[in-house]
Structure 1
Amino acid sequence: MTGLRRLLRDIEVFQGELPAFDPRTAPEDPAELFTQWLLHALEAGVREPHAMTLSTAGADGNPSARTLILKDVTAQGWQFASDSGGVKGRDLAARPYAALTFYWSPLARQVRVRGPVATESAEMGAADFRARGAGARAESLLGRQSSPLHDPGERDAQVRRSLERLEREPGLVPPGWRLHTVRPQSVEFWQGDPQRKHTRLNYRSEQDGWVRELLWP
């Protein structure tokens, strides 16, 4: 066994006292349970509990994943934002489906959301962009995400110029900025257990509403 393999096998998981979860008391709407879990994570001191992994696939079917910040949960679904010219935007244009994964390690809790992605109105996208911090807006206005960077100094200089431009034109919004909503077909809640008796509660969207079912660990 290699040193790294041994190290990985020896890392302890599910440390500390974990929260209880009785799926029989779960609400009918997964968004309500998600909000409860998110607030619990925030109260428990979990750092950045609104961070999530967004997984997409392009026209060639190859998957891509990255960590983003959840923008909102509405009656329609879970929202995130991106530039249409980046990898995320191109993937969604080719295949408008996505998966979201939240993992709150101190609580041994995971939430998985899967479904089609709808692009919201330009007005909603613009409002989201203007609510971002100045640094995030300045970088996004460059429109260079995922393109090769040959000199970090060039990046820094362009961001400075972009910040100066925002001071002159605070209402600027890049033309490709979009707000997206994952409209869930399934939402799974996973509660870890030190004895590996994990609880998995899956919400499946049907024509008449949500169907709740337990899954084997």
Structure 2
Amino acid sequence: MNSTRSESLTGTVEVGFPQFRTPPPEPMGLLREWLDGAAHQEVREPCALALATSGADGRTSSRIVVLNKLTETGLLFATHSGSRKGTELAANPWASGVLYWRETSRQITVAGPVVRLRDAEADALWAARAVFTHAMSSASRQSEPLEDLDQVAALRIRAGELGERGALPRPAGFAAYELRPERVEFWANGTDRLHERLYYERSGGNWSVGRLQP
């Protein structure tokens, strides 16, 4: 049984998963291959990463962030250090994430420690952002309480003023993070719900690989 002609929420799609039978020794190359494939097949939001974090109290929170960059060691994303996810990562530097693409009936889950990167990496991610995003990211204090609707109008005015300056310097609180997976699972929707699940776990710097039942 293979994952060709899989059933999905959007109809029948073609998704091959030959690595399920002959897995590579480590997951990061396959992750990149699937990510590139999602973009090639015109998945609407291939870099939309559902990121879950938790604070010292163990209560989880989740949101969608942009996967800015994939490296040999992990997944890079950016956020304001004072946001909820930023404060939770400061208290508990561990996260899990999901990349789900309904257009191809595939998903990837990752979990592992999260490292705040050096300012130089944050500068690079900030510089790579569209200039029009700089103004609101500089004017707003992400995740702080909104006192009233008048504050929305004030933010709009402030962002408009900042936007007239063009590219802006990176705010001090805009930080870059890398989720360095210790577990990765690749999931492909299968005919008759025989989904193909390939997982990797890292221990002592080495990866082990296995398969899971649907």
TM-score bracket, normalised by the shorter chain, equals: 0.7 to 0.9
Give the counterpart letter for 2:68 in structure 1.
Answer: K
Q: Considering Cα pairs closer than 8 Å and 6+ residues apart, tell me whether 1 or 2 has the greater RCO.
A: 2
Q: How does 1:138-153 map to 2 (within 5 A)?
A: 138-152=135-149
| d(CA) in 1 for partners of 2:9, 2:121 | 41
- Single out whichever of 115-124 and 41-50 deviates more from structure 2: 41-50
Q: How does 1:103-182 map to 2 (within 5 A)?
A: 103-152=100-149, 154-165=151-162, 167-168=164-165, 170-182=167-179
Task: Render the CA deviation track for 1:31-70: whole Å, top value 9, x for unaligned.
Answer: 1111111122122221011111010001211100000110
Which residue does 1:19 correspond to in 2? 15
Give the counterpart letter for 1:202 in structure 2.
Answer: Y
The two structures have a TM-score, normalised by structure 2, of: 0.87
Gaps spanning 5+ residues in structure 2: where? 1-7
Paired residues of 1:14 and 1:192 also in contact (CA < 8 A) = no
Give the aligned length: 206
Q: How does 1:28-47 map to 2 (within 5 A)?
A: 28-47=25-44
Structure number with higher helix proportion: 1
| d(CA) in 2 for partners of 1:95, 1:143 | 25
| d(CA) in 1 for partners of 2:181, 2:83 | 23
Q: In the alignment, is residue 196 of structure 1 matched against residue 193 of structure 2?
A: yes
Which residue does 2:67 correspond to in 1? 70
Gaps spanning 5+ residues in structure 1: where? 1-11
Paired residues of 1:30 and 1:203 also in contact (CA < 8 A) = yes
Which residue does 1:9 correspond to in 2? none
Paired residues of 1:138 and 1:159 also in contact (CA < 8 A) = no
The two structures have a TM-score, normalised by structure 1, of: 0.86
Q: In the alignment, is residue 49 of structure 1 matched against residue 42 of structure 2?
A: no
Sequence identity (%):
37
Paired residues of 2:183 and 2:200 also in contact (CA < 8 A) = yes
Moved over 6 A (4+): none
Paired residues of 1:102 and 1:111 also in contact (CA < 8 A) = yes
| d(CA) in 2 for partners of 1:98, 1:57 | 8
Task: Render the CA deviation track for 1:98-137: whole Å, top value 9, x for unaligned.
Answer: 0110001121111001000011101111221122123322
Q: What CA RMSD, in Å, does the superposition of the two structures yield over aligned residues?
A: 2.0
- Single out whichever of 205-214 and 62-71 deviates more from structure 2: 205-214
Task: Render the CA deviation track for 1:168-187: whole Å, top value 9, x for unaligned.
Answer: 47342111111000111011
Paired residues of 1:135 and 1:163 also in contact (CA < 8 A) = no
| d(CA) in 1 for partners of 2:93, 2:67 | 18
